[in-house]
Amino acid sequence: MTTTHASTPASASAPPAAVPVPVPVHQRVAELTATHIGPWQEGYLNDRSQAVAALARLRRGAGREAGETPDLWNLINTDALHTPATGTRALGEQELVRAENALHAALTLWAFHQQSRGKPMHRRHTRERPGGLGAAVRRLMPADGIDEPVRKRLFRAGTAPDLASLTHRLRDIVALLRREDIPLDYALLAGQLYLWQWPDGPAAVRRGWGRSFHEQRRPRPASDENTTPDTDKDAS
């Protein structure tokens, strides 16, 4: 007796492999920023000479575009932007330039922020502990009021005409945050600096800063207070 095996219906066949959603460029910039800052910040806080020297070099590049600072070319590794990985695509020339400039601006601002601080000044944003620029600025103010001069600094940054002007204005804000030991999510900021350089980007970034400002409506957590004495390993 011959047994006949029924063929498998087409509808029962294995589903096609899902096509990965491309990672947005601003997210790639944010992730690369965090990848750089992580070991530098840990090394700096543990007084490792290599990290201390790296931060000193980064600070000297503040206020300049990435291509203008050859001293940082072998320090800031941008291979991840040039080499497509799973879920990413090759970037065009304009995308690369803007991504490199955003990465450079965020890293040099962080290096200035971290200078002589004994606590990490880069801290990733969470819902429980907002780390965006607006939230950080709000924490400079009294819990029950608005500090108008500080608010105007954020507004002035939001109306900067270009990335170079924006970076200079952000440096003024970072100086205030540094004085109060208030951290910032520099990965998030790097992604925003990338978006800023595109049409309609400034408006979108300003909206993000505004939402972030209103996220932080409570006094700073006790765990964020300055309990670690300042260091002076690189006060230059």
pLDDT surpasses 60 at 20: no
Taking Cα atoms as reference points, which of 160, 159, 138 lies closest to residue 147? 138
Lowest-pLDDT range of 17-26, 103-112, 200-209: 17-26
* 92 Cα distance to chain centroid: 21
A 10 A CB-CB count for 206 gives 18
* pLDDT at position 63: 74
Taking Cα atoms as reference points, which of 142, 116, 130, 128 lies closest to residue 55? 116
Between the CA atoms of 92, 93, 99 and 100, what dihedral angle is there, to the nearest 10 degrees? 140
pLDDT surpasses 70 at 5: no
* pLDDT at position 41: 98
**Can you give 187-210 as a three-state secondary structure string?**
HHHHHHHHHHCCCCHHHHHHHHHH
* pLDDT at position 206: 95
* pLDDT at position 72: 86
What average pLDDT does the chain have? 85
Taking Cα atoms as reference points, which of 171, 189, 167, 152 lies closest to residue 32? 189
Tokens 């070099």 belong to which residue?
57
d(CA 133, CA 184) in angstroms, rounded, equals 7
pLDDT digits (tens, 9 = 90+) for 74-96: 899 999 998 877 667 889 999 99
Tokens 């309990």 belong to which residue?
227
Q: Enumerate the H helices of 24-92 as residue ranges.
A: 25-45, 49-60, 79-82
Decide which of 49 and 216 is more confident.
Answer: 49
Instruction: For residues 222-233, give the mean pLDDT.
Output: 46
Confidence class for position 146, pLDDT limits 50, 70, 90: confident
pLDDT surpasses 70 at 166: yes
Structure tokens at 101: 């400039």
Instruction: For residues 127-141, give the mean pLDDT.
Output: 91
Q: Tell me which amino acid residue 37 is.
A: I
Decide which of 154 and 226 is more confident.
Answer: 154
Instruction: For residues 51-63, give the mean pLDDT.
Output: 90
pLDDT digits (tens, 9 = 90+) for 33-43: 999 999 999 99
Structure tokens at 28: 């790639």
